[in-house]
A = this chain, B = another copy of it.
Amino acid sequence: MLNVRSVDDLTARARIRDAAMLRFGRDGFGAGLRQVAADAGVSPALVLHHFGSKGGLREACDRYVHDELRAVKSDALDRPAGEVVAELAATAQYAPLVTYLVRVVLDGGPGAAAFVDGLVADTAAYLEHGERTGTVRPTSDPQGRARYVVAGQLGLLLLTQLEAAAGRAPSPTTDPAAALAHITATTMQAGLELFTHGLLTDSTYLDAWRAGERTAPPAREQP
């Protein structure tokens, strides 16, 4: 686990960084330095004194998240990445960190692809471990499957954020625990069913795909 610290005994630099993560996470990287400074209770000039430029501030946030995440990951090597992230997101202390991370992915910068690559690799490793212990089915395309699983989790995160923004679900930044409970309540059942039994009743589509290899599926009149 990481250091649990009170809010007051942070250096101004750390306070600015935290404020930036929260503000960028909520509003995107279009948010202004003045806003970040106000959130941190300092002058705009101090932000640039500590981080040089807006880009520097952003990089500092990226580095911080990266380091924290690596610490958490080494603490949870045998668990699925999605679950660890979900647990983090439900912890008030780490929720802004996850929100920021989602924003980085949504923003689509160069760091985003690398981060997602890491998620896919972790997931692939975890699924392979499941295969060895017999709980996960073997697959002909481990990488593709891991990609699919990660994509699903990212999409779910995106959906949750949209619904929170529309006021239809608890906000992950305001009430992280409630937000996770909401995701769980609305998707766990369906997700487990899908992962247990699949969606289709038989393998005609899969067989057709395998037969035609790289051809479009028989799309026109059935799923």
> Which chain A residues have a beta carbon within 8 Å of chain B's beta carbons?
30, 78-80, 83, 105-106, 108-110, 112-114, 116, 126-127, 130, 133-137, 139-141, 144-145, 147-156, 158-159, 161-163, 165-166, 168, 184-206, 209-210, 214, 216-217, 219-223
Residue ID in chain B nearest A220 by CB atoms: B79
User: A204 — which chain B residues lie within 8 A by C-beta?
Assistant: 135
User: A155 — which chain B residues lie within 8 A by C-beta?
Assistant: 150-156, 158
In the complex the two chains form, what is the Cα distance from A130 to B149 in whole Å? 23
- CB atoms of A190 and B158 under 8 A apart: no
Which residue of B150, B198, B221 is within 8 Å of A195 (Cβ)?
Answer: B198
Which residue of B30, B105, B205 is within 8 Å of A192 (Cβ)?
Answer: B205
User: A133 — which chain B residues lie within 8 A by C-beta?
Assistant: 222
User: A168 — which chain B residues lie within 8 A by C-beta?
Assistant: 113
